[in-house]
Chains A and B, each alone.
Chain A
C-alpha cells in the first residue's frame, strides 16, 4: 500500500496539478481597458472566509490589472504537487514559500533570484523596507544563505510562554525571572493539581520548539550556528541544553502525560480550559480566543526565564508565507507585479492583522491588534521581540527531524544528551553530503 502510494504520487500529482486542482479561483471581473493578464499562484493557505476571498481577488484585479488563478493544496501535499509540477514544466508562475530553511531549500534552482527585481523596484536600499528578521528568514530559504528567493510578507513570533494570570493570581504567583522561580511555580501548581506547562510531545514538532527555546537561553545562538556548520551540534553548550531540558521534565514542569498528548488540541485545550497554567506558543494562537474570548483578559506571556547567570533571552520566529517566482515562468513581469504588491501596504494588509494574528514583514505597517487594550498591548509586546528572533525552521528538514528524535531519545529512552546530539550532527553531515555542500 505504501509502495503504491509512493509510486502513484508522482504521476498523479503531476497530472492532478494540471487537470484537477483542489481549488481554483479566478479573480473577479473588473472594468479595464486592457485585458488583465492571468497568472497562476499555488499556496497551502486557505482564505479567511468567502467574502474576504472575494474582496481579495477583486482588489488584485482592480489595483494590478492581473487575474490570479490560485490553487490551494494542504501542506505537505503542496510540496509534492509543486515538485511534480515543476519537474514537468507545468509549475505555477508564483508560489508560496516559508522562510527559515526547510523544506524549500531544495527548490532554489527553480526559483527566480529576486534580488535584481527588488533593486529595480525599490532601489539599492530595498532591504530597509522589511524587518531584519524577515530578511534573514527569507535568506534562510537559500541553503547558502545568500540569495533572496522570496518576498517576505508576514511573520509570527514564538518561543513565548503564555500563562494564565487568573491561576497565577489565585496561587500568588508571578512570572518567573529565573529558572529556579519557574520550578517553584511548578511545585505550587503540581501541589494544587494543576498542570504547570501543557506540552503536546506526541506531535514531535513541539519538542524541537522546546529544545530551541531552552538552547537559546543556555547556548545562545549556537543551535543556529550549528545549522550553518559553524559549530557542531555536539558542542558542550548544546549538550548542556538538552540535559537541561531533560532536567526540566524531571522537575515536573510538564504533565506526566505529555508524551501521549498532541499539541493540537490536547495541550492547547488543557491550557485554554484552565487545566494547565502555561504553554509554549506564539502569536499564531490568537485564534484560541475565538472559542475562549476570556483569554484576552487572562492570557499573557513571558520569555523562557534566565538560567543561572542568565544570557540573552532569544525568541524564535517564522515567516508564515512568502512569495516566490518560478524561474521558468514566461510571465515574469506580471508575476513580479503580483509579488511586489506585497511589498506595499496595499498588498501586505491582506494577510496581516488581528484576523490572522500575523504581523507584516513590511516595516512601515502598524497594526492595531485588538479593541481590547491589554490584549493589543500583549501582541505589541510579542511582535516587538521579532528583531531579536532566530528562525524556527531548521536549515534542512533532516535537522529538524533529527532534533525531534534527539529530544525524544534523551527524554524517554535514556539516551545520553551527547549521543542524542550526535544524532543531529549525523543528520546534518548526511544532509550536507546529499546536497553536495561543504558546510
Chain B
C-alpha cells in the first residue's frame, strides 16, 4: 500500500465513520443484543435468567404456533418471489412498449408503493369485508356471488388474501426497477434480432430476460427480505388469525414479546427469523454468483 493510498484510506474512514456509527448503533447492536436476549428467560422485568438453548428447544419442539408461522412465512416468500418478479417483469415489458397513456399506468401501478402500510391495510380490510366489502359485492354483481368468501376470516384464504395485498403493494416497485433495467439493453441488439426475424416472444426470452437476470437476482433477494419481515399488513388485516392460520414469524415475534410479554423468547424467534433470512440470502447470492448472474 502506497503512502498516498494509505492517506486516502484514512480519509475515507473519516467520511464513512458517521455511517459506521449509525450502523453499529442501530443495526449491529440491536442484532447482538437480540442474540444475547435469546438465551435468557426474561419477562421484561427483573434480572434475566440465562437458560442456554432452552428457548430454542421450546421453539423447535414445543411451540405449536412456530411450525405454522414458519410454514406460512415460507409460503409468503415463495409466492412473493414468483408473483412479485413475474408480475413486475410482465408489467415492465407491457409498459415499456409504446402503449397510449403508459406514464399514467406506470404511476398508478407504482402508487401503492408510496402509500403507508397502515392505509393500505385499512383500505383492503374494507375491500375484503365479507358483509359490505367491495370484493364480495363485485363478485355478486357479475354473477359470481358463490365465490364470495370471508376472505380474512377463513383459515383457507386469510393468508393468501394478505399476501395478495403485499403483491399489489410491491409489484409496482419491481416494475419500475425492471423498466430501468430494460433501458440498459443496447437497442442495436434488439434491432439486429428484429432484422434476423425474431418475434416479440423470442426477443423477450432470448434477449431481454437474460439481460435482466442480474436485476432479477437482486429483486429476488429484496423480495425475500421484504417478505420475511412483513408485519404491518398481517397485524392489521388478520392479527395472524384466525387460529394462527396467517401467523408469520414476524408476527410471532411481536406476539411473544409484546402480547405475552416474553421478550427473551421473542428474541429467540427473531434470531431464527434473522438466521433464515441470512441463509436464504446467502444461498441466493452464491447461486447467482456461481452462474455469473450478479
Contact = CB atoms under 8 A, between A and B. Distances in A.
B80 to A, nearest CB: 16
Interface in B35-87: 37, 41, 43-46, 64
Interface string B254-294: 11011111010011001101100000000000000000000
B34 interface: yes
A415 B26 CA distance: 43
A76 B34 contact: no
Contacts of B11: none
A1 B229 contact: yes
B243 A405 contact: yes
B151 interface: yes
Interface stretch (A6-14, A211-219, A303-311): A6-14
A3 B274 contact: yes
Interface string A54-73: 00000000000000000000
B253 interface: yes
A408 B242 contact: yes
Contact of B131 (A107, A270, A405): A270
B130 interface: yes
B181 to A, nearest CB: 27
A255 B241 CA distance: 18
* B interface residue count range (under 10 / 10 to 19 / 20 to 34 / 35 or more): 35 or more
B178 to A, nearest CB: 25
A80 interface: yes
A202 B34 CA distance: 30
B53 to A, nearest CB: 17
B259 A413 contact: no
A103 B241 CA distance: 22
A107 B229 contact: no
Interface of A is mostly: helix
Contact of A86 (B45, B245, B267, B274): B45
Nearest to A204: B239
Contacts of B154: 259-260, 412
Most chain B beta-carbon contacts within 10 A, residue among A79, A256, A270, A412: A412
A411 B151 CA distance: 16
Nearest to B43: A106
Contact of B267 (A3, A87, A408, A409): A3
Contacts, number: 145
Interface in B195-252: 229, 231, 238-239, 241-245, 249-250
Most chain B beta-carbon contacts within 10 A, residue among A79, A109, A257, A408: A257
Interface string A318-337: 00000000000000000000
A148 B155 CA distance: 43
A7 B45 contact: no
Given A261-B129, A401-B259, A2 B250 contact: yes
B30 A3 contact: yes
A397 B125 CA distance: 27
Given A2-B231, A3-B34, A257 B131 contact: yes
B45 A203 contact: no
A84 B263 CA distance: 12
A110 interface: yes
B259 A397 contact: yes
B263 A408 contact: no
Nearest to B131: A257
A374 B153 CA distance: 38
A270 B133 CA distance: 13
A77 to B, nearest CB: 9
Contacts of A412: 153-155, 242-243, 245
B150 A257 contact: yes
B45 A255 contact: no
A260 B128 contact: yes
Contacts of B152: 202, 259-260
A7 B155 contact: no
Contacts of B128: 260
B29 interface: yes
A155 interface: no
Contacts of B33: 7, 10
Given A195-B131, A412-B243, A4 B30 contact: yes
A266 interface: yes
A2 B131 CA distance: 33
A6 B150 contact: no
B31 interface: yes
B266 A6 contact: yes
A222 interface: no
B270 A2 contact: yes
Contacts of A84: 44
A145 B208 CA distance: 71
28 contacts: A2-B231, A2-B250, A2-B270, A3-B31, A3-B267, A6-B37, A7-B37, A9-B263, A83-B44, A83-B45, A84-B44, A87-B45, A103-B261, A109-B45, A202-B238, A204-B239, A256-B131, A257-B130, A260-B154, A270-B131, A405-B243, A408-B244, A411-B243, A412-B153, A412-B154, A412-B245, A413-B242, A434-B41
Interface of B: 26-27, 29-31, 33-34, 37, 41, 43-46, 64, 125, 128-131, 150-155, 229, 231, 238-239, 241-245, 249-250, 253-255, 257-261, 263, 266-267, 270-271, 273-274
Given A87-B45, A408-B242, 7 more contacts: A2-B270, A3-B30, A4-B26, A7-B31, A401-B255, A412-B155, A413-B155
